[in-house]
Amino acid sequence: MRRLETDILILGSGGAGLFAALHAHKANPALRVTIAVKGLLGKCGCTRMVQGGYNVALAPGDSAERHFMDTIEGGKWLNDQDLAWTLVTEAQVRIRELENELGCFFDRNPDGTVHQKAFAGQTFDRTVHKGDLTGIEIVNRLAEQVWARGIARLEEHRAIELIRERDGTAIAGVLMIDMRDGEFVFVRAKAVLLATGGGPTMYRYHTPSGDKSCDGMAMALRAGLALRDMEMVQFHPTGLLAGPDTRMTGTVLEEGLRGAGGWLLDKDGNRFMAEYDAKAERATRDVVSRAVFDIVRKGRGTQLGGAWLQMSHLGADMVRKTFKGMVERCADCGFDLAGGRVEIVPTAHYMMGGVPFGGDCSTDIKGLFAAGEDTGGVHGANRLGGNGVANSTVFGGIAGGNMARWVAAEGYLRVPDEDAIRAGCARALAPFARRPADLETIRERLHDAMWEDVGIVRDAEGLARAADTLDALDAELDAAGVAETTRAFNLTWHDWLNLKNLVAVSKAIRAAAVARTDSRGAHFRADNPATGDLATSRYTLVRQGPDGLAVTTEPVAFTRVRPGESLLESAAE
């Protein structure tokens, strides 16, 4: 086993990880900052895949208070309000940092001001963007700045266990696999940032790339941390539906299409969203996803089991100019987005749940910080489109600066629990001692179980059925082996590790969904469609106990505004 040391170790190279590295370096350039990433820095992760844009209150008539209320109401009053306030206020700082310091260039109005487009669930057009490929612009510029500063990186290094010090009170480092040669690497660090992102790829239709397997959340569970709001899985309503045998199915057609006036149509060409919400196509993602699901269930869906997205009524030239990336993506799959119709289906997109964290991005393990989609609390029961990349960059920057200050005040290299390291290695190597199995069949059954029973619409019967299926899949994985032709780039081995993490997190999603018996935001119970009393809202916490997962609930703290009130009124006063 190779052993390395660093002051700050950052797991993940999306918006949260890259911003954390830059802010840690800025706070103390003498610190050794290391980014570890499962793929290649700047070429992987979900931030790079962001199409729509970045929510921030910049324009006259908009305000942080207005953005905050949209975020709280969109989150159905389950948000941590202090974190949500930090999101909307610091986004105003971060967007200027992105342009003025880091080199991003976003689309402009004719007068030179930043152009902001309409996104669903918001009362103001506040989504800053670079065409419809905003994430590439942000990640390219951030990666350039990381390279320019000589920040160390461990590419194609997969984190598999968070290792505490021997007395269990603080983080000592992270056990990894160097995917290039299959060898274990233990990185000892004074502080660690968990920023691996979520990635609900346990569902049949999903937007993230296949390497996203909820690694950070699974590691957090095994390390004894709780996960908050895990029942809240967001389905983006307009995933491309290109057929059952292509990975293009499930990839996102961005929300700005509906914000610009796109229509959703049933198989007969009838608009249907007004039947479900007065905001029609501009309703929040959870509402639109359930509407598409419902028309399919009622026999009004397209031949492949989705709906139609139409933009042609807005003018083909306008669509081609405004949504160039989307037009090209659809054309690759045989669809004419500008002049015709495109078949769509809801697709698992984002996880509102994750590790509870403080405003300084600290967690319950001393020296372990968290930011981005690995965390829970910011978005509540539903994330507004455009708030995701804002979340990553805002809290990534906060984490980096606070980690640098924490290391200076309290950080030192701690003695790791060697038994935990050995146990982590043994767990990862276990499949090599067993007969190879068909992992693809296990993956397909996981997709089916989560889509049918823990998906867009849930009920007690389906959740109980999913419990049996997930337990069976976990047992099958524990009996499944992989061929040890070589451990170097052994993708079957990493498929096994991915599936173990996905099943573990799927169990947490299901357990939280059982505990929330009413419907709220992205979590919809067909056996209880009513929303509970907002004034007594509680959030869920899932922990790994000696006898399996345990779920508790805690009351939401209405620290800034209570249901029925508005910050806009207090701001006006």
Per DSSP, the chain holds a count of helices (H) and strands (E) of: 15, 19
Contact 194, 472 (CB under 8 A): no
Q: Is 504 helix (H, G, I), strand (E, B) or coil?
A: helix
Residues 538, 302: Cα–Cα separation, whole Å: 38
For residues 37 and 195, the answer to whether their CB atoms sit within 8 Å is no
Catalytic: 23? no
Rounded CA separation 41/35 (Å): 9
The residues, ordered by sequence, that sit 6+ positions from 450 with a Cβ below 8 Å of its Cβ are 202, 203, 204, 466, 506, 509
Give the three-state DSSP class for 306. coil
Q: What is the distance between the alpha carbons of residues 486 and 65, in angstroms, rounded to a whole number?
A: 56
Exposure of 115 by Cβ count < 10 A (0-12 exposed, 13-18 middle, 19+ buried)?
middle
Q: Parallel, antiparallel, or unpaired: how do β-strands 355-356 and 341-351 relate?
A: unpaired
Per the annotation, the verdict on 236 as an active-site residue is yes
Angle formed at CA 129 by CA 569 and CA 253, multiple of 5 degrees: 100
Q: Which of 141, 158, 236, 447 is catalytic?
A: 236
Q: How far is the C-alpha of 272 from the C-alpha of 289, rounded, in Å?
A: 12
Q: Catalytic: which of 258, 379, 458, 510?
A: 258
Which segments of 187-271 does DSSP mark as H helices, in order? Answer: 215-222, 256-259
Backbone angles phi, psi at 548, to 5 degrees: 115, -165
Write out the E strands in 449-559. Answer: 538-545, 548-555
Residues tagged active-site: 236, 258
